[in-house]
Amino acid sequence: MRQPAAAVKATQGVYNADFDWDGFNSDWYCAHNYVSLRDDDTAIMTRVGEFFQQHLKPSTAQRRGLDVGSGANLYPAMSMLPFCEGVELREFSRSNVRWLNAQIERYDAYWDEFWDVYRALPAYQNVSNPREALRKAAKVERMSIFELPEREWDMGTMFFVAESLTYDPREFWRAVECFGRALKPGAPFAAAFMADSRGYKVDKTQFPAVAVDITDVKDCLSVVCEVIDIDLVETKKPLRRGYGGMILATGVALS
Ligand SMILES: C[S@@+](CC[C@H](N)C(=O)[O-])C[C@H]1O[C@@H](n2cnc3c(N)ncnc32)[C@H](O)[C@@H]1O
């Protein structure tokens, strides 16, 4: 978590609660990030799907999955469909909660391309109608990551959240811990992080980030999880300036 001294000074003492999360422009964010499928997201989905199908039987019986900080992204929730009766999305921003509820009712056609990536994997072929499966399984609730109950969920995803909700490194650590502790011991998870990001704009609004690298992510995840795999996902076409790739970690929650 190394940052230039001037950047550290300007953002010191600026926390999650200091940002207008309800003003997060979900449609802008989705259009910028997800309306066409990127090579790095494709690589992430393939690795996440492979990891989950290795660790879980494709039966949904009574399993509950958690996606925290879902934003305007459906692909983490989709990754849990073959394995969960309930896919529970916990998101703090009211605008994102509205967007998620509308998309879950009947998601837009561009998400079909995302499902096609999962569908190449055997466990996902058991889901014949993913649109209907998501509508039935997914429940969205407005909640802060810092308020998640402990030991509730059987599997979990957290994509670009813990490092992208604050400028404060301790708050980043706390967010990762809250995610890990929300999972039952042994529950498999996938978590993605923007490497070296110092913040990002959504439409005209600036949101924060803590600049992390693979070692930082591994260190804080290891407090609550056994990290099985962690790697930088490469792309020739970065999403925007000001970050150093995407870090993907998979593993299981510790007892
Ligand atoms: C960079 S976005 C990532 C969104 C999405 N997961 C994705 O993969 O694109 C960060 C998300 O964290 C959410 N967030 C910010 N503070 C939060 C908090 N305290 N608890 C839960 N989510 C929060 C934001 O509303 C936003 O949806």
Q: Which residues pair with 202 in a beta bridge?
A: 205
77-128: pLDDT as tens digits:
999 999 999 999 999 999 999 999 999 999 999 999 999 999 999 999 999 9
Q: Which of 249, 175, 168, 255 is nearest to 213 (CA)?
A: 249
Shortest-distance atom of ligand 1 to CA 194: 1
Angle at alpha carbon of residue 75, lines to 34 and 144, rounded to 5°: 100
**Where in the chain are the domains?**
25-253
Q: Ligand 1 pocket check: which of 161, 164, 176 to mutate, most ligand atoms within 8 Å of Cβ?
A: 161
Q: Ligand 1 pocket check: which of 16, 67, 93 to mutate, most ligand atoms within 8 Å of Cβ?
A: 93
The residue among 2 and 41 whose pLDDT is bigger is: 41
Distance CA 44, CA 166 (A): 24
Please give all residues whose beta carbon lies within 6 A of any atom in ligand 1, as ranges. 16, 21, 24, 33, 68-71, 73, 91-93, 96, 144-146, 159-161, 164-165
User: Which is it for the CA torsion 3, 8, 14, 15, positive or negative?
Assistant: positive
Using the mean position of ligand 1's atoms as its centre, give its distance from the Cα of residue 15 in Å: 14
Using the mean position of ligand 1's atoms as its centre, give its distance from the Cα of residue 69 in Å: 4
138-179: pLDDT as tens digits:
999 999 999 999 999 999 999 999 999 999 999 999 999 999
Distance CA 176, CA 163 (A): 9
Q: Which residues pair with 140 in a beta bridge?
A: 89
25-253: which CATH number, 1.10.357.10, 3.40.50.300, 3.40.50.150, 3.40.605.10?
3.40.50.150
Using the mean position of ligand 1's atoms as its centre, give its distance from the Cα of residue 122 in Å: 30
48-79: pLDDT as tens digits:
999 999 999 888 779 999 999 999 999 999 99
Nearest CA to ligand 1 atom 15: 165
